[in-house]
Structure 1
Amino acid sequence: MKNEVDTMLADVAIPQVKIPAHPVPRVLPVEEQESLKERIKIMLREKDAALVAHYYTDSVLQDLAEETGGCVADSLEMARFGIEHPAQTLVVAGVRFMGETSKILNNEKRVLMPDLAATCSLDENCPIDLFSDYCDRYPDHTVVVYANTSAEVKARSHWVVTSGIALPVIQHLAAQGEKILWGPDRHLGRYVQEMTGVEMILWPGSCVVHEEFKAEALRTMRRLHPGAAVLVHPESPKEVVDQADVVGSTTAMIQAVLRMANKEFIVATDAGIFNKMRQLAPEKVLLCAPISGDGTTCEGCARCPWMEMNTLEKLAQVLETGSGEIHVEPELAARARVPIQRMLDFAKTLKKG
């Protein structure tokens, strides 16, 4: 049950994020694509490397990761995979904070990314200097940050959380009588507040992808598809979240498609997730929640412009040249690992319980 709480947004002017134009990928002939994939498979073996890809990357990269013994997952599972896999090189297809998190948890390993310029609006919304100065104004608050942040911001925090574990962590901290300063996604923070009744100071960041979902167009789409279940990521605006049948992380939405009896699903997150959903439930009909128009059609499916920077050609290039390496200073990695490990240990406790 939702609890009404007052939302206190941090009184800080966050930087404007320069959003790159959605790249128009070169369409590779089938023969060239297959040849490139074979070269990549050979290089992964020769260089003792494993490919880990996020659910939001191109389906070709997701499929290639699974075909080569890598993994396709959310950001935390991508990093955890690296801990358990013996490969000494991890190639992370995603955005920069994911590569950094992999390096933080696997500092002795080499971590490469197809494009180091692939960032995240939440990360960019939360520069360490502004965030650290603001935290200093509330020394009696426990700082909880979303995984979509830089290594420096993680190191400044007390806890790192994913969308899947945010609710129980905040409930746990509140039960201990701790005051919470939350960053950087205000929509996820507001959702956590409503679900737990815990007052928090919210950093005013947001995801440019989830911010685009349109509540009124979604209402129209629901009327046109009355049997469809609506799945919404909690980074979305309140008016969209309030229409959801399921609110949850990428993993939770994939599980919902598998377990729910509905034939159709309207999905409010990056359309890259459809690849895994279609693999696991090919009989289901997947519709992208509207980001434009009146809801009668999907005029433009939600896609992260930074995720789209990951391509087969760039992947081959970093394997051939060793470029695109993520560096996190060991001392910084050690400090950033503390709040991440705190979450991982808490997750284990939850699982045992």
Structure 2
Amino acid sequence: MPAVNIALQPRPDTDASVDHAIQAIVAGAGAGETCNTDLAAGPWDFDTRPGYGPGSSMGDVIPTGSPRQGELPQEYREASEEDLDRRIRAAKATLGERVVVLGHFYQREEVVLHADYVGDSFQLANAALEHPDADAIVFCGVHFMAETADLLSRPEQAVILPNLAAGCSMADMADIDQVEECWEQLAEIYGDMDQADGDGLVPVIPVTYMNSSAAIKGFVGRHGGIVCTSSNARTVLEWAFERGRRVLFFPDQHLGRNTAKAMGVPLEQMPMWNPRKAYGGASVDQLADARVILWHGFCSVHRRFSVDQIDQARAEHPGVRVIVHPECPMEVVDAADEAGSTDYIRKAIEAADEPTTFAIGTEVNLVQRLAAQHPQHEIFCLDPVVCPCSTMYRIHPGYLAWVLEGLVAGEVLNRITVPQDVADPARLALERMLAAKPPGAPVVAGSPS
């Protein structure tokens, strides 16, 4: 599952910038609506405040003690888009192969155009493995992604997150204390969690989505579990069912529900675990009959999509092809024509031979970029309100210029490191995922064995 090497990608002729669209809307010079006019401000205006910042996650409560970004120097806050572009290019040219810049699909266009590789979190972690000689990996994404890159990169390599405030509200919905408490309560019901039954199956196999902290990945590794992505969730659940009677799936309930439902698991065998309630709010009978226990977490970006939006798209665009991400609620996935990962969506559009109208249910930066790259198609976001992922949007070219020029000056800023006692079991969970491949799947070059 390689990342996209942007050196091979032509620049689009049309403006793919969500920031430009938001600036125009706020200034009254553009049509449309944005979910928060504060998105037009620099993200440094919010660095000192607790919260995820303006955007799709603004209603989520950020955990106490979440990383905060210190003040960005004034020269970067006040620099023009053109000046930042020039400074980033100059710093990259000076650093050469000493640095590799990774950009997530959901990053703003002004950042992605400087990335050496563009992809989802797992693709980018693998892209980092392809550069073992680089001194630094600058990860333009969110905190858990930088942690994963640190887990898979060499110890000497510095993994840098340009803005420490770029977290993930979904990942924060399952913290390590809550998950350990859940495990203890499940043990009260199921008994010894390490004891296999007569069929060789343990009571529960923990499965965590890639969108989780290193601490959660470490927990999974210690308890015989595995990590999944939106691309391989079915293969991972099959792996888990070969080893356990049931699965504890976190933090995203929707990916777990949509995947298990497609595998034939009845909804009544998928109780929800709310960590704020005793036994997750489920009855002992529900938990005894469970096949998949779903954590009460979700992605604020993908929760914005609705069946009404799909109905409107079909009414206004007869023959429209609707593709949504599996982090969307079940009723949205059921109403769509297809559901798949960000990479699935990208490849589906690239593979369309005839001009097609696509309505896409995923983060707007990716949708707008795809629309610019494929002008032969009509591509639009299902949600008419321009509302990017608030935490991805915290990565701004000003921060990228700052950390790159820091490297030129010999200073490593915003380094992300995972403690060894967490890193070892977290790598084990990742390696199990890498080894769990569907039949005929190619081996990913450079992946740990």
Deviations 1:43-89 (A, max 9, x none): 5428x110001000011221211xxxx20010001101111213121
- Give the superposed CA RMSD: 2.4
Asked whether the 8 Å contact 1:186–1:204 carries over to 2, the reply is: yes
Matched, 1:254 2:254: no
2:249 to 174, 179, 182: 182
Instruction: Say which SS state the counterpart of residue 441 (structure 2) adopts.
Output: helix
2:88 to 31, 37, 43: 37
Asked whether the 8 Å contact 1:209–1:270 carries over to 2, the reply is: yes
The whole-number CA distance in structure 2 between the counterparts of 1:145 and 1:350 is: 24
Deviations 1:16-58 (A, max 9, x none): x9442249x9796464243223233235428x11000100001
Runs of 4+ more than 4 Å apart: 25-30
177-186 or 156-165: bigger deviation: 177-186
Matched, 1:51 2:101: yes
- Where in structure 2 are there 5+ consecutive unaligned residues? 1-49, 57-75, 187-192, 194-202, 266-290, 407-411, 444-449
Tell me by how many angstroms 1:285 deviates.
Answer: 1.5
User: Aligned letter for 1:220?
Assistant: Q
Cα distance 1:57–1:27, how it changes in 2: closer, same or farther (>3 A)? farther
Instruction: Say which SS state the counterpart of residue 215 (structure 2) adopts.
Output: helix
Matched, 1:118 2:203: no
Tell me by how many angstroms 1:318 deviates.
Answer: 1.6
The whole-number CA distance in structure 2 between the counterparts of 1:165 and 1:204 is: 21
Cα distance 1:227–1:20, how it changes in 2: closer, same or farther (>3 A)? same
User: Aligned letter for 2:362?
Assistant: T
Q: TM-score, normalised by structure 2?
A: 0.67
Instruction: Say which SS state the counterpart of residue 20 (structure 1) adopts.
Output: coil
Cα distance 1:287–1:352, how it changes in 2: closer, same or farther (>3 A)? closer
1:84 to 121, 130, 133: 130
Instruction: Say which SS state the counterpart of residue 208 (structure 2) adopts.
Output: strand
Cα distance 1:152–1:44, how it changes in 2: closer, same or farther (>3 A)? same
Please show how residues 302-313 of structure 1 align to structure 2 within 5 Å: 302-313=387-398
Deviations 1:247-290 (A, max 9, x none): 00000000111123451111100012135524653322211112
Matched, 1:20 2:53: yes
1:314 to 399, 406, 412: 399
Aligned length: 323
Instruction: Say which SS state the counterpart of residue 422 (structure 2) adopts.
Output: helix
320-329 or 145-154: bigger deviation: 320-329
The whole-number CA distance in structure 1 between the counterparts of 2:108 and 2:79 is: 14
Cα distance 1:143–1:31, how it changes in 2: closer, same or farther (>3 A)? closer
The whole-number CA distance in structure 2 between the counterparts of 1:302 and 1:240 is: 18
Asked whether the 8 Å contact 1:55–1:276 carries over to 2, the reply is: no
Cα distance 1:30–1:111, how it changes in 2: closer, same or farther (>3 A)? closer
The whole-number CA distance in structure 2 between the counterparts of 1:262 and 1:132 is: 51
Instruction: Say which SS state the counterpart of residue 436 (structure 2) adopts.
Output: helix
Residue 3 (structure 2) aligns with: none
Asked whether the 8 Å contact 2:210–2:227 carries over to 1, the reply is: yes
Residue 11 (structure 2) aligns with: none
Matched, 1:141 2:204: yes
User: Aligned letter for 1:337?
Assistant: R
Deviations 1:287-322 (A, max 9, x none): 1112xxxxxxx2x13410000011111011122332
Cα distance 1:352–1:82, how it changes in 2: closer, same or farther (>3 A)? closer
Asked whether the 8 Å contact 2:101–2:137 carries over to 1, the reply is: yes
User: Aligned letter for 1:277?
Assistant: L
Asked whether the 8 Å contact 1:146–1:161 carries over to 2, the reply is: yes
Instruction: Say which SS state the counterpart of residue 139 (structure 2) adopts.
Output: strand
Instruction: Say which SS state the counterpart of residue 234 (structure 1) adopts.
Output: coil
Deviations 1:315-340 (A, max 9, x none): 11122332211011123111100011
1:339 to 426, 429, 433: 429
Instruction: Say which SS state the counterpart of residue 380 (structure 2) adopts.
Output: strand
The whole-number CA distance in structure 2 between the counterparts of 1:77 and 1:36 is: 27
Matched, 1:201 2:306: no
The whole-number CA distance in structure 1 between the counterparts of 2:239 and 2:152 is: 24
The whole-number CA distance in structure 1 between the counterparts of 2:152 and 2:320 is: 39
Deviations 1:88-130 (A, max 9, x none): 2100000000000000111411100111111111111011100
Cα distance 1:37–1:343, how it changes in 2: closer, same or farther (>3 A)? same
The whole-number CA distance in structure 1 between the counterparts of 2:95 and 2:296 is: 40
Residue 112 (structure 2) aligns with: 62
User: Aligned letter for 2:143?
Assistant: R
Asked whether the 8 Å contact 1:59–1:275 carries over to 2, the reply is: no
Residue 271 (structure 1) aligns with: 364
The whole-number CA distance in structure 1 between the counterparts of 2:367 and 2:79 is: 21
Matched, 1:75 2:75: no
**Fraction of identical pairs, as percent:** 31
User: Aligned letter for 2:253?
Assistant: R
Asked whether the 8 Å contact 1:36–1:313 carries over to 2, the reply is: no
The whole-number CA distance in structure 1 between the counterparts of 2:377 and 2:77 is: 30
The whole-number CA distance in structure 1 between the counterparts of 2:313 and 2:78 is: 31
The whole-number CA distance in structure 1 between the counterparts of 2:369 and 2:237 is: 30
- Where in structure 1 are there 5+ consecutive unaligned residues? 1-16, 291-297
Residue 5 (structure 1) aligns with: none
Q: TM-score, normalised by structure 1?
A: 0.85
The whole-number CA distance in structure 1 between the counterparts of 2:334 and 2:230 is: 17
Asked whether the 8 Å contact 2:120–2:343 carries over to 1, the reply is: yes
The whole-number CA distance in structure 1 between the counterparts of 2:90 and 2:55 is: 27
Instruction: Say which SS state the counterpart of residue 144 (structure 1) adopts.
Output: strand
Matched, 1:288 2:381: yes
Residue 160 (structure 1) aligns with: 227
1:323 to 389, 394, 413: 413
